[in-house]
Amino acid sequence: MPGAPAQKAEPTATVRPAHPLSARAAATRQRILDAALAEFAEKGLAGSRVDEIAARAGANKRMLYAHFGSKEELWLTVLERAYAAKREEERAVAVEHLPPPEAMARLVAFNLRYTARHPEFVALLNQENLHRAAYLRRSEDVPALYSPLVEALRGVLARGVAEGVFRNGVEPMQLYISILALGHFYVANRHTLSTIFGTRLDTEAAIAARETHITEVVLGYLRP
Amino acid sequence: MPGAPAQKAEPTATVRPAHPLSARAAATRQRILDAALAEFAEKGLAGSRVDEIAARAGANKRMLYAHFGSKEELWLTVLERAYAAKREEERAVAVEHLPPPEAMARLVAFNLRYTARHPEFVALLNQENLHRAAYLRRSEDVPALYSPLVEALRGVLARGVAEGVFRNGVEPMQLYISILALGHFYVANRHTLSTIFGTRLDTEAAIAARETHITEVVLGYLRP
DNA sequence: GCGGCGGGTAACCGATCGGTTACTTAACGG
DNA sequence: CCGTTAAGTAACCGATCGGTTACCCGCCGC
């Protein structure tokens, strides 16, 4: 029967998993996390209201505090899960078997697309930086935040150089930051940019145009 | 001409300089604006406290409301001034007389340096995007927000193409966004990036390294 | 079928917070 | 000097807001 409690999977390294946590409680917890993600991304940490989060979750404030202890702990949990979710998808990006330029293009495109698909992640990051990464620093699995993309990028870069199709002396960390930047900034600032330029930037056509451009930028730069 | 009913004789608790404005009042207004910029950049709009702003300014809440009417009006004013300040400095960047590659390098470097020197501007922008540019859209001089850099960039690009030193078919708006992105993202996310990579990114050495890298990216990309 | 307990509710609380009011002080032209 | 008025102060107010307390319900093993 579906009662199998083997749901371990241990993704919840969040708050003490004291006891196994019943299905109903786990569902409530999940609804609160989803609601909190939406609220936090929409209004920021200071602008979010715990009552509103509880209401969105169809839960009660009491349950929110039972699960997470405080608004700030909830924030940290949401943040960690957002990072984990991105890391998860990143792992699925297989580029080892591709020619370096194609592999690089895929990394660049993945990043833009993920970012465009998850503006909440961008909003969360911006908020966290406003707090000088105070919460992230408190996280216990910060090392795990180190994206698989960095290593993938390093590998592709090395292969490209070895094959003579990429320039030499590129700093992987700098390039990684640049690739993140080219996508992230576009999504993060889409509202002010749209206002200033007078064009919608969140349409599929606009995103596709952006993808073409930033891929050209990175590949153009990497030419030997 | 019946004596107009009370009519409160011009509420004047306005945003617009209610006529002359004495030197003392102007100074107070300025101190409030400075304090508000610092507070908003540090804590965001929702996280900022008007009492705290008034205290920082060495002024009183009453004066804050007399000059700006509301927290949100104050935010808008601060935001407009931040944009205006950047625009002002941008105008001083003269690149028409330089060879296109050097001109382009200067535009790229200027942007990074300005951004690094003014992280408050970055914080303000992020906040405003969280609000979906709601305040910016209300601004009366949005057109003026259109950066002089865009036109400078367009000119340099055209010259470079004409001289055969730049590739063809580059979309100025996309390149402009990319140049902004390469600097802005680095500064905006310096705290989370520092945490993840375990290195300080706000030292002069780190910024100089970033400048070298992003200049190479843009110029490398633009090669024909 | 029942009693304990984990899950859930609602009312409440002290601390703020944005904004206002009643009042005081400084400036300056006549 | 002195009266008008702009600039400044402090105390106050209603509405929230994060967090807590007292209480209830229904599912489970026994």
State the nucleotide closest to A66 in CA–C1' terms: C7
- What's the pLDDT at A10? 29
- What's the pLDDT at B140? 77
- What's the pLDDT at A139? 83
Q: How far apart are CA A95 and CA A205, in angstroms?
A: 26
- What's the pLDDT at A146? 77
Higher pLDDT, B25 or B35: B35
- Going by the DSSP 8-state scheme, the letter that residue B131 receives in this structure is T
Q: How far apart are CA A54 and CA A69, in angstroms?
A: 13
Average pLDDT of span B85-106:
94
pLDDT of B123-180, one tens digit each? 999 999 999 999 888 887 766 777 888 999 999 999 999 999 999 999 999 999 999 9
Q: Residue B56: CB partners within 8 Å, gap ≥ 6?
A: B35, B38, B39
Beta carbons within 10 angstroms of residue B174's beta carbon: 18
Whether B2 shows a pLDDT value over 50: the answer reads no
- What's the pLDDT at A25? 77
Which bases along strand C come within 7 Å of a protein CB atom? 6-11, 16-22, 27-28
- What's the pLDDT at B165? 98
Return the sign of the alpha-carbon dihedral for residues B161, B162, B164, B169.
positive
- What's the pLDDT at B30? 93
**Protein-to-nucleotide distance from the CA of B66 to the C1' of D10, whole angstroms:** 16
How far is CA B49 from each of CA A69, A131, A160, B26, B122, rounded to the nearest angstrom?
A: 25, 16, 52, 22, 20
How far is CA B218 from each of CA A40, B57, B98, B107, rounded to the nearest angstrom?
A: 35, 42, 17, 10
Q: How many residues does chain A have?
A: 224
Tokens of B85: 């300040």
Whether B35 shows a pLDDT value over 60: the answer reads yes
pTM of the entire structure?
Answer: 0.88
- What's the pLDDT at A21? 61
- What's the pLDDT at A212? 98
pLDDT of B183-223, one tens digit each? 999 999 999 999 889 899 999 999 999 999 999 999 999 99
**Protein-to-nucleotide distance from the CA of B21 to the C1' of C28, whole angstroms:** 14
Q: How far apart are CA B106 and CA B11, in angstroms?
A: 48
- What's the pLDDT at B23? 74
Asked if the Cβ of residue A157 lies within 7 A of any atom of strand C, the reply is: no
Q: Average pLDDT, whole number, for chain B?
A: 88
pLDDT of B8-20, one tens digit each? 333 333 334 435 5
Q: Chain B residue with minimal CA distance to A211?
A: B174
- The whole-number mean pLDDT for each consecutive block of 10 residues of chain A, a chain of 224 residues, reads 31 40 80 95 95 91 92 94 92 94 98 97 96 88 76 96 97 97 97 92 97 98 97
Given pLDDT bands bounded at 50, 70 and 90, which one contains residue B4? very low
Comparing CB atoms, the residue among B44, B131, B196 nearest residue A146 is B196
The reply to whether B200 touches chain A by the CB within 8 Å rule is no
By C-alpha distance, which of A152, A139, A150 is closest to A72? A139
